[in-house]
Chains A and B, each alone.
Chain A
Amino acid sequence: GDSVTQMEGPVTLSEEAFLTINCTYTATGYPSLFWYVQYPGEGLQLLLKATKADDKGSNKGFEATYRKETTSFHLEKGSVQVSDSAVYFCALSGTGGTSYGKLTFGQGTILTVHP
Protein backbone atom coordinates (compact mmCIF):
# COMPACT_ATOMS: atom_id res chain seq x y z
CA GLY A 1 0.00 0.00 0.00
CA ASP A 2 0.87 3.67 -0.12
CA SER A 3 3.22 5.03 2.51
CA VAL A 4 5.07 8.23 3.38
CA THR A 5 8.26 8.46 5.42
CA GLN A 6 9.50 11.73 6.90
CA MET A 7 12.79 12.44 8.57
CA GLU A 8 12.61 12.01 12.27
CA GLY A 9 12.43 15.10 14.39
CA PRO A 10 12.33 17.24 16.22
CA VAL A 11 14.33 19.77 14.23
CA THR A 12 15.71 22.80 16.03
CA LEU A 13 17.19 25.74 14.09
CA SER A 14 18.26 29.29 14.68
CA GLU A 15 16.44 32.08 12.89
CA GLU A 16 17.64 32.60 9.29
CA ALA A 17 19.02 29.06 9.03
CA PHE A 18 18.35 26.83 6.01
CA LEU A 19 15.67 24.20 6.45
CA THR A 20 15.32 20.79 4.83
CA ILE A 21 12.75 18.22 5.91
CA ASN A 22 13.08 14.98 3.99
CA CYS A 23 10.08 13.07 2.68
CA THR A 24 10.05 9.89 0.62
CA TYR A 25 7.07 7.89 -0.54
CA THR A 26 5.92 4.54 -1.85
CA ALA A 27 2.91 4.48 -4.13
CA THR A 28 1.59 2.96 -7.32
CA GLY A 29 0.98 5.15 -10.31
CA TYR A 30 1.46 8.91 -10.14
CA PRO A 31 0.29 10.31 -6.83
CA SER A 32 -0.06 13.97 -6.00
CA LEU A 33 2.18 15.15 -3.17
CA PHE A 34 1.45 17.66 -0.42
CA TRP A 35 3.00 19.43 2.53
CA TYR A 36 0.71 20.46 5.37
CA VAL A 37 1.62 22.65 8.34
CA GLN A 38 0.06 22.55 11.80
CA TYR A 39 0.66 25.58 14.02
CA PRO A 40 0.22 25.15 17.78
CA GLY A 41 -3.41 24.65 18.75
CA GLU A 42 -4.65 24.64 15.16
CA GLY A 43 -5.68 22.21 12.46
CA LEU A 44 -3.60 21.30 9.43
CA GLN A 45 -3.29 23.80 6.60
CA LEU A 46 -2.15 23.08 3.07
CA LEU A 47 1.30 24.60 2.59
CA LEU A 48 2.09 23.51 -0.96
CA LYS A 49 1.50 20.72 -3.43
CA ALA A 50 2.77 19.17 -6.66
CA THR A 51 0.66 17.00 -8.91
CA LYS A 52 3.15 15.56 -11.40
CA ALA A 53 6.80 14.68 -11.71
CA ASP A 54 9.27 17.61 -11.73
CA ASP A 55 6.60 20.05 -10.54
CA LYS A 56 7.75 22.48 -7.87
CA GLY A 57 5.28 23.59 -5.24
CA SER A 58 5.98 26.84 -3.40
CA ASN A 59 4.35 29.04 -0.78
CA LYS A 60 5.51 31.45 1.97
CA GLY A 61 9.15 30.90 1.00
CA PHE A 62 8.88 27.11 1.23
CA GLU A 63 9.57 24.92 -1.79
CA ALA A 64 9.40 21.22 -2.65
CA THR A 65 10.06 19.44 -5.94
CA TYR A 66 8.33 16.21 -6.98
CA ARG A 67 11.18 13.81 -7.81
CA LYS A 68 9.80 10.59 -9.25
CA GLU A 69 13.21 9.04 -9.83
CA THR A 70 14.03 9.23 -6.12
CA THR A 71 10.38 9.07 -4.91
CA SER A 72 10.98 12.17 -2.83
CA PHE A 73 9.34 15.50 -2.02
CA HIS A 74 11.72 17.29 0.35
CA LEU A 75 10.61 20.57 1.93
CA GLU A 76 13.09 23.47 1.90
CA LYS A 77 13.24 27.06 3.04
CA GLY A 78 16.24 29.30 2.68
CA SER A 79 15.80 31.36 5.84
CA VAL A 80 13.45 30.25 8.59
CA GLN A 81 11.70 32.54 11.04
CA VAL A 82 10.45 31.97 14.57
CA SER A 83 6.92 32.05 13.16
CA ASP A 84 7.71 28.91 11.11
CA SER A 85 7.78 26.84 14.29
CA ALA A 86 5.13 24.17 13.71
CA VAL A 87 4.59 20.52 12.81
CA TYR A 88 5.04 19.68 9.13
CA PHE A 89 3.34 16.72 7.45
CA CYS A 90 4.16 15.23 4.08
CA ALA A 91 1.26 13.45 2.36
CA LEU A 92 0.35 11.75 -0.88
CA SER A 93 -2.95 11.32 -2.66
CA GLY A 94 -3.44 7.77 -3.83
CA THR A 95 -4.28 6.86 -7.40
CA GLY A 96 -5.37 3.24 -7.24
CA GLY A 97 -8.75 1.71 -6.46
CA THR A 98 -10.13 2.62 -3.05
CA SER A 99 -7.04 4.79 -2.38
CA TYR A 100 -7.97 7.23 -5.12
CA GLY A 101 -8.06 10.76 -3.74
CA LYS A 102 -7.40 9.69 -0.13
CA LEU A 103 -4.39 11.19 1.62
CA THR A 104 -1.74 9.10 3.34
CA PHE A 105 0.31 11.12 5.85
CA GLY A 106 3.83 10.86 7.17
CA GLN A 107 4.33 10.94 10.90
CA GLY A 108 5.07 14.65 11.06
CA THR A 109 8.22 16.63 11.86
CA ILE A 110 8.30 19.15 14.68
CA LEU A 111 10.24 22.30 13.78
CA THR A 112 11.34 24.76 16.45
CA VAL A 113 13.07 27.98 15.42
CA HIS A 114 14.92 30.02 18.06
CA PRO A 115 15.61 33.76 17.78
Chain B
Amino acid sequence: DADVTQTPRNRITKTGKRIMLECSQTKGHDRMYWYRQDPGLGLRLIYYSFDVKDINKGEISDGYSVSRQAQAKFSLSLESAIPNQTALYFCATSSPGRTYGYTFGSGTRLTVV
Protein backbone atom coordinates (compact mmCIF):
# COMPACT_ATOMS: atom_id res chain seq x y z
CA ASP B 1 0.00 0.00 0.00
CA ALA B 2 1.09 3.56 -0.70
CA ASP B 3 2.31 5.70 2.19
CA VAL B 4 -0.15 8.47 1.26
CA THR B 5 -3.41 7.44 -0.40
CA GLN B 6 -5.79 9.84 -2.08
CA THR B 7 -9.33 9.02 -3.16
CA PRO B 8 -10.80 9.35 -5.68
CA ARG B 9 -8.06 9.45 -8.35
CA ASN B 10 -10.34 11.16 -10.83
CA ARG B 11 -13.65 12.93 -10.39
CA ILE B 12 -15.98 14.89 -12.62
CA THR B 13 -18.61 16.94 -10.84
CA LYS B 14 -21.13 19.62 -11.70
CA THR B 15 -21.04 23.28 -10.75
CA GLY B 16 -22.63 23.86 -7.34
CA LYS B 17 -22.15 20.33 -6.05
CA ARG B 18 -20.37 19.56 -2.79
CA ILE B 19 -17.42 17.24 -3.12
CA MET B 20 -14.94 15.72 -0.68
CA LEU B 21 -11.43 14.56 -1.46
CA GLU B 22 -9.90 12.18 1.02
CA CYS B 23 -6.34 11.55 2.12
CA SER B 24 -4.98 8.90 4.45
CA GLN B 25 -1.41 8.13 5.44
CA THR B 26 0.54 5.33 7.05
CA LYS B 27 3.71 7.36 7.68
CA GLY B 28 2.73 8.28 11.23
CA HIS B 29 3.38 11.94 10.40
CA ASP B 30 1.68 14.67 12.39
CA ARG B 31 1.70 17.22 9.58
CA MET B 32 -0.59 17.05 6.57
CA TYR B 33 -1.14 19.44 3.67
CA TRP B 34 -3.45 20.00 0.72
CA TYR B 35 -2.05 21.56 -2.46
CA ARG B 36 -3.53 22.49 -5.77
CA GLN B 37 -1.58 22.22 -9.04
CA ASP B 38 -2.47 24.22 -12.12
CA PRO B 39 -0.40 24.31 -15.32
CA GLY B 40 2.28 26.99 -15.11
CA LEU B 41 1.43 27.90 -11.52
CA GLY B 42 3.25 25.18 -9.65
CA LEU B 43 1.82 24.06 -6.33
CA ARG B 44 -0.28 26.32 -4.17
CA LEU B 45 -1.07 25.56 -0.54
CA ILE B 46 -4.78 25.35 0.33
CA TYR B 47 -4.77 24.19 3.97
CA TYR B 48 -2.36 22.56 6.34
CA SER B 49 -2.57 20.83 9.71
CA PHE B 50 0.28 20.34 12.16
CA ASP B 51 -1.78 18.04 14.36
CA VAL B 52 -5.39 16.96 14.81
CA LYS B 53 -6.37 20.16 16.63
CA ASP B 54 -4.26 22.56 14.57
CA ILE B 55 -5.64 23.54 11.16
CA ASN B 56 -4.46 26.55 9.20
CA LYS B 57 -5.36 28.32 5.99
CA GLY B 58 -2.88 28.41 3.16
CA GLU B 59 -2.59 30.94 0.36
CA ILE B 60 -5.74 29.93 -1.54
CA SER B 61 -8.26 28.64 1.05
CA ASP B 62 -11.34 30.51 -0.22
CA GLY B 63 -13.99 28.06 -1.44
CA TYR B 64 -12.40 25.13 0.40
CA SER B 65 -12.71 23.59 3.86
CA VAL B 66 -10.90 20.74 5.58
CA SER B 67 -11.40 18.18 8.32
CA ARG B 68 -8.67 16.34 10.24
CA GLN B 69 -10.54 13.29 11.45
CA ALA B 70 -7.50 11.56 12.92
CA GLN B 71 -3.75 11.76 12.74
CA ALA B 72 -3.88 9.64 9.60
CA LYS B 73 -6.80 11.30 7.79
CA PHE B 74 -7.20 14.76 6.28
CA SER B 75 -10.12 15.58 3.97
CA LEU B 76 -10.62 18.52 1.64
CA SER B 77 -14.12 19.72 0.74
CA LEU B 78 -15.39 22.00 -1.95
CA GLU B 79 -18.69 23.27 -0.56
CA SER B 80 -20.04 24.47 -3.89
CA ALA B 81 -17.75 23.54 -6.74
CA ILE B 82 -17.04 26.02 -9.53
CA PRO B 83 -15.25 25.46 -12.87
CA ASN B 84 -12.09 27.34 -11.87
CA GLN B 85 -11.55 24.74 -9.16
CA THR B 86 -10.74 22.27 -11.92
CA ALA B 87 -7.20 21.19 -11.07
CA LEU B 88 -4.95 18.44 -9.78
CA TYR B 89 -5.06 18.18 -5.98
CA PHE B 90 -2.28 16.70 -3.87
CA CYS B 91 -2.13 15.66 -0.27
CA ALA B 92 1.25 15.54 1.46
CA THR B 93 2.61 14.64 4.88
CA SER B 94 5.76 15.49 6.79
CA SER B 95 7.52 15.19 10.08
CA PRO B 96 8.27 18.33 12.07
CA GLY B 97 11.54 19.99 11.24
CA ARG B 98 13.07 21.70 8.25
CA THR B 99 15.13 18.84 6.82
CA TYR B 100 12.63 16.12 6.05
CA GLY B 101 10.60 17.30 3.10
CA TYR B 102 7.20 15.93 2.18
CA THR B 103 5.70 12.62 1.09
CA PHE B 104 3.03 13.15 -1.57
CA GLY B 105 0.00 11.18 -2.63
CA SER B 106 -0.64 10.38 -6.28
CA GLY B 107 -3.17 13.17 -6.65
CA THR B 108 -6.84 13.62 -7.46
CA ARG B 109 -7.74 15.07 -10.84
CA LEU B 110 -10.93 17.08 -10.36
CA THR B 111 -12.99 18.47 -13.21
CA VAL B 112 -15.91 20.80 -12.50
CA VAL B 113 -18.30 21.17 -15.43
A51-B99, A101-B31, A107-B41 known; A45+B104 contact, CB < 8 A = yes
> When the two chains form the complex, which single residue of B41, B42, B94, B98 contacts A94, counting CB atoms closer than 8 Å?
B98
Task: List which A92-115 residues lie within 8 A (CB) of chain B.
Answer: 93-95, 98, 100-103, 105-108
CB pair B43 A89 closer than 8 Å: yes
Residues of B within 8 A of A43 (CB): 4, 90, 104-107
Residues of B within 8 A of A107 (CB): 40-42
Residue of B nearest to A106 (CB): B42
Residues of B within 8 A of A49 (CB): 99, 101
Residue of A nearest to B44 (CB): A105
A90 to chain B, nearest CB (A): 10
Residue of B nearest to A4 (CB): B42
A21-61 CB mask vs B (1 if < 8 Å, else 0) is 00000000001101010000011111001010000000000
